[in-house]
Amino acid sequence: MSDDYRSIARERMKGFCRVCPVCDGRACAGEVPGMGGLTTGASFRNNVTALADVTLNMTVLHEVKSPDTSTKLLGMEFKVPALAAPIGGVSFNMTKEHVSEDAYIEAVLSGCVAVGTVGCTGDGVPPFIIDAATKALQAHRGIPFIKPWEGKELYEKLDRVMECQPLAVGMDVDAAGLVTLRKMGRPVTPMSTTELAQVIDYVHKKGQRFIVKGIMMPQDAEKSVAAGADGIVVSNHGGRILDHCPGTASVLPRIAAAVRGRLTVFVDGGVRTGVDVLKMLALGADAVLIGRPVSVAAIGGLAEGVSAYFNSITQQLSQAMLLTGCSRISDISPEVLYSA
C-alpha cells in the first residue's frame, strides 16, 4: 500500500489509531472503544508476537518459477487466500466525519472484489452499521457477520443480509462480552451448541453457508462441526474481548488438526504481510482474515487503498512461496516451517 494512503489515514484516524509503522498493539493498549486491545492489550500483542515467532525454511534449489496464489473457498475462486475481516462502527472505532460507514464498507467490499478476493461486513448496535452492510452487499459479493443477538433481532438481521445472496453468512460469537456493546446497553452472551445449531439450520434452509467466528479451542471447533457449520474463524476478536489470550497462531495448529477436512478454517489476528499469510496456511488455515490494516487502507485510500493493500499481500505471498518452494497454495504445509 502506498505511503500516501497511510499518511492520509494517520490524519483521518487521529484519536483512534496512530497508524504505527508496525501494528502490534503496544501504543494503543486499553483503547477500547478504539483500535486497541482490551485492558493491558496482551491478547492483541500476543497475536502479533506468536506469528512473528514462526520462522520459515528457505530453499532456492527447486523448479518453482511462478507460484499460483489462487485458491477455492466455499465453492468460489479467490486470487489470494486473504479476506477483509468484518469491522463495523467507523464513527466510534476509527474516525469521525472523514469517512462514513457507507463509504467505508463500500470501499472494503469493492476494493476486495477488484483484486479477486472478498470483504466481510460487520454488525453493531446503531442501525446504520447493518444498513451500510446490506447496501454494499447488494452491489458486491461479500460475507456478512451478524452478532448473536437475543430474540427476533437476530433472525431479522439474518434475513436482511441473506436477501443479498452473500457468499456465506457468519456470526462472531466472540462478540460476547464486547465492551462497545456493553457501553451501548446491548451486551450479548455466549451461545450453547443447541442454540448455535438452531441458527445454522435456519441459515442452511435459506440456502446459505454458515461460518462461526471466535474459535480458540479444539473443543469449540468440534462443537461448531456438530452444530453444522461450514467454516470457522480462529479468532480472539483482535484481542478486544478477553485479556491474556494466546495468539491465534499458537492455537491454530491444534484446532485445524481437530477439524481438518470437515469445514473451512479461517484465522485472523496479527496478519500484516503476505509472509504472515504463508505462515498461517502452513499452521493449518485455509485462508486468513485481515482487520486493522484493511481499515487503515480503506480510511486512507477508500477502494483504491484496499485494492493496493491486497495487491501487496498477493505479491508478498507469491515471493514467500517462491522462496519456500511452493508452486501452489495446496503445497503450503508444515514442512515450510523451521523447527529447531
Q: What pLDDT score does 33 carry?
A: 84
Mean local confidence (pLDDT), 243-249: 97
Mean local confidence (pLDDT), 292-308: 97
Q: What tens digit of pLDDT does each residue of 142-151 get?
A: 999 999 998 8
Q: What pLDDT score does 87 carry?
A: 95
Q: What pLDDT score does 109 carry?
A: 98
Q: Where are the domains of the chain?
A: 3-18+26-328
Q: What pLDDT score does 131 carry?
A: 97
Bridge partners for 83 per DSSP: 289
Q: Is the pLDDT of residue 24 over 70?
A: yes
Q: Please report, rounded to a whole number, the percentage of residues in the chain having pLDDT higher than 90.
A: 87
Q: What pLDDT score does 3 carry?
A: 60
Cβ neighbours for 5, distance < 8 A, ≥ 6 positions apart: 296, 297, 300, 301, 304, 305, 308, 309
Q: What tens digit of pLDDT does each residue of 89-138 get?
A: 987 889 988 899 999 999 999 999 999 999 999 999 899 999 999 999 99
Q: Is the pLDDT of residue 310 over 80?
A: yes
Using CB atoms within 10 Å of the CB of residue 270, give its burial: 0 to 12 exposed, 13 to 18 middle, 19+ buried: buried
Per-chain mean pLDDT for the chain = 95
CB atoms inside a 10 Å sphere around CB 186:
16
Q: What pLDDT score does 1 carry?
A: 46
Q: Residue 116's closest CA among 77, 143, 90?
A: 77
104 phi and psi angles, rounded to 5 deg: -65, -55
- 265: helix, strand or coil: strand
Q: What tens digit of pLDDT does each residue of 49-77 get?
A: 999 999 999 999 999 999 999 999 999 99
Mean local confidence (pLDDT), 218-229: 98
Q: What tens digit of pLDDT does each residue of 315-339 get?
A: 999 999 999 999 999 999 999 999 9
Cell numbers 500484516: residue: 272
Q: Is the pLDDT of residue 224 over 80?
A: yes
Q: What tens digit of pLDDT does each residue of 249-265 get?
A: 999 999 999 999 999 99
Mean local confidence (pLDDT), 12-27: 94
Taking the alpha carbons at both ends of the chain, their separation in whole angstroms is 34
Which amino acid is present at 107?
A
- The Cα 100–Cα 197 span in angstroms is 35
- Domain 3-18+26-328 in CATH 3.90.25.10? The answer is no
pTM, whole model, 2 decimals? 0.96
Q: Is the pLDDT of residue 187 over 80?
A: no
Greater pLDDT, 144 or 185: 144
DSSP assignment of 188-246: -----HHHHHHHHHHHHHTT--EEEEEE-SHHHHHHHHHHT-SEEEE--GGGTSSTTPP
Q: Is the pLDDT of residue 179 over 80?
A: no
